[in-house]
Amino acid sequence: MDIKHYNQKPKRKAKFFNPPNTLKAKAGSGGLSEAILDRSQDLLENHTVDFAPLAEIYISQMRDGITAAAALGKATDSEEAIEKILMPCVQLKANGTMFHYPLVTRIADRFVQFMEVVERLDEETIDISNAFLTALTIVISGKIKTDGAKHGEALVEELNRACMRYFEKHKLDIEKKK
Amino acid sequence: MAYNLQDIKILLVEDNRGMLHLVKAVLQSFGVGQVITALDGDSGFNEFCRHNPDLVITDWLMTPCDGLELSQRIRTDPASPNKFVPIILMTGFSEERRVISARDEGITEFLVKPFNTRDLYRRLYKIIESPRQFVESEDFFGPDRRRRRVEDYNGPLRRDIDENRDGPISPDDIVFR
């Protein structure tokens, strides 16, 4: 075994610190009881904050991003253009379930995963983006505060299949990116 | 014996008022004595300097100053009263490259939204019971990024792991290659 690597002097100097654990000193030991955690979870599940007005703002930002990319009339690999569509969708993914719209989180999560991998915005990615946008708009405007049962499942699966078809077609590009 | 969080002061920074009130209410239901709030990274840093909290919980995507910039200022600004303070970053992102960039800005724990109260509690518990040592090198200051390695990461299949994981991804879940 070549042990030269392990015998080298460190190339960068680093200092290590162990700051005092003031949180531990104040909190003590034993954690929180299941009863407290259950009560907190109830609070999270039963709040009445209306997410729809904020969700509509995110949907509108997403639509603006898609419209701007489509208006270019040609494919673009601009990170800025991709992020204008992606970022509002990240917010929808993050907040959907926490504000009683689990289907929004599921749909948006699929789209975020898709957008994190695509290399450019072209006609196909814009079509897929529009399909996700339409689905999200329907869920929010229809105030569908469940997982959408069978229809929700079918919708997510169909959107997922659209992404998979894209990945299959552009396999080489995506492999190269990895 | 159980935790008594009455003397603990937490700074919560979040631009979504609904989420801000929700997380604040959850922290208060945990028994946290003082929850200071701010709506963006700039005012968050001002509140941090004013109150010197024991823990910071911040959202990532905010304008004009986001959660990563806030973290960087807490770790490096000469005005910062405690550059070692633990920071939990809340975000909708869970992709590896995003977590790495957060870790490189000195984030202690990563909490993926949506989350439940037990996810938040697990992060809090980890910070209290297993604090990270800090590292200062030429190009980094923050919690040690090498606490644990995950051996089952297989690159392109990471989303299979994401879907099967118990809780949110954390900086510990990142494999260094």
In a domain, A91, yes or no: yes
Mean pLDDT of each 10-residue bin along chain A, 178 residues long: 67 84 96 96 94 97 96 88 96 96 95 92 94 96 83 89 90 60
Between A71 and B149, the higher pLDDT residue: A71
User: Quick one: which of B55, B64, B66, B65 has its CA closest to B30?
Assistant: B55
Average pLDDT over residues B160-164: 43
Domains and CATH numbers, chain B: 9-173 (3.40.50.2300)
- CB contact under 8 Å between B30 and A19, yes or no, is no
Query: What's the pTM?
Result: 0.85
pLDDT confidence tier of residue B7, bands split at 50, 70 and 90: very high
In a domain, A15, yes or no: no
In a domain, A164, yes or no: yes
- CB contact under 8 Å between A32 and B92, yes or no, is no
Q: What is the pLDDT of residues B53-80, one digit of tens each?
A: 999 999 999 989 999 999 999 999 999 9
In a domain, A99, yes or no: yes
In a domain, A78, yes or no: yes
- CB contact under 8 Å between B19 and A95, yes or no, is yes
Q: Between the CA of residue A29 and those of A21, B4, B57, B92, B139, what are the distances in Å?
A: 13, 8, 21, 31, 36
The owner of tokens 């992102």 is: B93
pLDDT of residue A131: 96
Q: What is the pLDDT of residues B99-124, one digit of tens each?
A: 888 888 899 999 999 999 999 999 99
- Using a CB-CB cut-off of 8 Å, the residues of chain A touching B22 are 44, 47, 49, 98
- Report the domain count for chain A: 1
Look up the domain containing A127 and give its range. 51-177
pLDDT of residue A170: 83
Q: Which of A22, A86, A112 to mutate to test the interface with B (most CBs of B within 10 A)?
A: A22
- CB contact under 8 Å between B5 and A99, yes or no, is no
Q: Is A10 on the interface with B (CB under 8 A)?
A: no
- Using a CB-CB cut-off of 8 Å, the residues of chain A touching B137 are 12-15
Q: Cis (ω within 30 of 0) for the bond into A20?
A: no
Q: Is A99 on the interface with B (CB under 8 A)?
A: yes
In a domain, A105, yes or no: yes
Q: What is the pLDDT of residues A65-90, one digit of tens each?
A: 999 999 988 888 888 999 999 999 99
CATH at residue A148:
1.20.120
Q: Is A54 on the interface with B (CB under 8 A)?
A: yes
